[in-house]
Structure 1
Amino acid sequence: MQHDTQHDPSARPESAEPVSLPTRRTAGCPFDPPAGLGALRERRPLARMTYPDGHVGWLATGYSTVRAVMGDPRFSSRYELMHYPFPGGPEGPLPPAPVGDMTGMDAPEHTRFRRLLTGRFTVRRMRQLADRMEEITAEHLDAMERRGPGADLVEAFARPLPALMICELLGVPYADRERFQTHAHTIMSMDATPEDRYAAHTGLHDYMAGLVAAKRAAPSDDLLGDLARDSDLTDEELVGVGGFLLAAGLDTTANMIAHGTFALLTHPEQAEALRADPDLAPQAVEELMRYLTIAHTGIKSALEDVELEGEVIRAGESVTLSLEAADRDPERFPDPDVLDLRRRATGHLGFGHGIHQCLGQQLARVEMTVALPALLRRFPTLRLAVTAEEVPLRTNMNIYGVHRLPVAWDEA
């Protein structure tokens, strides 16, 4: 059979030489993706990429390209079919996803778990939690004010709010938070050794196993209690799902609240717009999700040959998806490097796309929509307590953000 150069990887032109994944962010630009991503997107929104383990796959940086791969069932989300795109990771394909980790499943297994959970994360149900979120937010703002006039916003505000909400939703004792937050942090770290990551998964699994046993014995009025009573999940599956939801609900929203505040404080005109108009909050959350795209990178693997952007992605090849580059694509978002809270940033990929779109996105929206305006209104003089360059960034994490955010304000 004859192949032309478009369909034969061995006959690709010199301009299609594989690239490596840009990871270095420009100094002084804590909110922008690594500079090389934008330049690459302009030249080749789908480029051949050499992975650290030697695998030659693909890197997608254009919005339409990334979105197409995320929505195409011919691309798998199973970890064991993927190659890791970041240096220092495991050599060769990844191990399979732990039981209950929905991000590493394909249909129909994924469909079964998703169907069980979707009805428990509806827009209506999440909005019913807004009153509780307002109470929790006010309590933590009161505590900050009493201790003031300065704080690490991560520890005082951004981390405890979503932790309390996900613990109450799932039925997990908040008093145990230090134990499972440490495990979740290790799991999310790109620098963690395979041994450390395995130990963290084991620790979280053992914690959830004890909790699930208690729910089976006496089902409670919460999500895990409902699943223990009403679903056909095995103990192992319920432990896995519980750990997955807990870890996901802790880290992502906490980083959006902290990193979103960082972005607002360095764009004071945007902070003032949100402070002056609380009704702007839902729109502002979508723009911050687009602008920051803290869940910055995804991976898929082709299950069969797929033609895309004039290229053929061969079965078995991994495709790294730069969601942060896609959300800065000027073909989809005009002036994409500008933070504009009045922009209608619908269609952003901050919550993903396709069947794996974030299950808890409505809860995250409620949390951010309540927390960010309330913080700005309570402390009109809120500002960074260090220079922007001194804020420690989570450049080594699967979820981008800040490790700490020292802030100050004037006492009333």
Structure 2
Amino acid sequence: MNCQEFHKMIPDLLADTLSPEELSVAREHFTTCPACAEALRTAREALRSVTPRFEPSVPEGLEARLLEAVHRRATASNTPERRTPRRRLVGILSGVVSAAAVVIVALTFGLNTPARAARNRLTQAIASMEGVHSIRIELRIRTSEQENFDFTDPNLEFVPHTLEAIYTPQLLWRVEKPGRKALYDGELTYLWYDSLNDGLIQPYSPDAIGMLHLLIDPNQLLELERQLTKTHNGVRYELHREAEVLYLKVISPAQGDFSQSDYMRNTSILESNTRREYRFDPENGRLQGARITFLDRDQERTLLEIDRIEYDAPIDAATLTALPEGIAWERPAQVLPSGRLTGINAKEAAQRILGAFSTWNAEILDEALRSYGTHAREILKNRYSGATVEHLSDPVRSGKYPGWFIPCTLQMADGSREKIRLALRNDTPDKSWAIDGGL
């Protein structure tokens, strides 16, 4: 590689879009050529100095006007090479146009450089998973042992989790934490609770393990982050290398709609302000580890940390899909909609469902509780049978939850009062309302 060829590669070095082979050639050149090393350092410093830490909106048409202006300036300078926008930026950083143009164009193009670099790095990491046959991940999450796999709380202690997956000849996976476990045997999903000796059998259901499903196949987690680089929904990126590790930092505000209620804020990773840090092997692009930190004005605490990732781990399929003994397995009730819980709004549905508590109207409640097993429905019947509604608030949305939350007060059969926040959703094809939580 000569110096002219190296200068053409500077924009790709800035954006971290070179292949490992190209990067190796470029590195070999600038480590032995002081002039090119200085040119790269100057370009990096110039870009860093004019790249703000926030992403202001660019006025419509500004990019086109700037490109036209740069093109006119480059033409006036008798530049022999026809340059793409990326190549023009290198010329600008090398002094072809004025310092003012450097600032303006970097504000237009440089803002996208961290996101573009992150997107390319994520694309490489996704491609690196091709040919991986299995994976084992050990991680810790601040959560409750009995809560669902998606739940996080920065004020709780760490709970260890283990994820194992086999990809070929078919996908099999198992997720475990103390108190709750789940597996997929290639046909059905099994979810069970150690303390209840109770378990559910469902068709393939990644929702059973929430966001952890993205770690079953890290490609899905990386693809989510890659998609976020395109939306720029308040997300910021930083990419740097230290020794033999490449670091990607993603700083993201809580995702979801909190305009009506903050109820779901800080209850999951996506619904929290977070700093997500990923470590990659710069040679093969594979994810090596991750840490997700909860951010608040006066608090910063790790929510999730991957301690170990083992690719092509020696995992036995029979052991992975082995079911425990002593569990009472049940499939969710296949209840046809009665028409009593369809065609109405969330508040009407809540009134109808809670009103059925007083006599425990099975026609309504079996439909409303269809995602609960027989054992769980018996527990709820023993607790809420005879209860009446004392107060029912208007439904609100919160976070990324697809349904509604309805705060209410019940007068129990024994005369006591209980405040609950009923979670209702009707996003199934039959549009029938069902209780999703709160009891």
Q: How high is the TM-score relative to the length of structure 2? A: 0.22
Between the two structures, name the one with larger relative contact order (CA 8 Å, sep ≥ 6).
1
Higher helix proportion, which one?
1
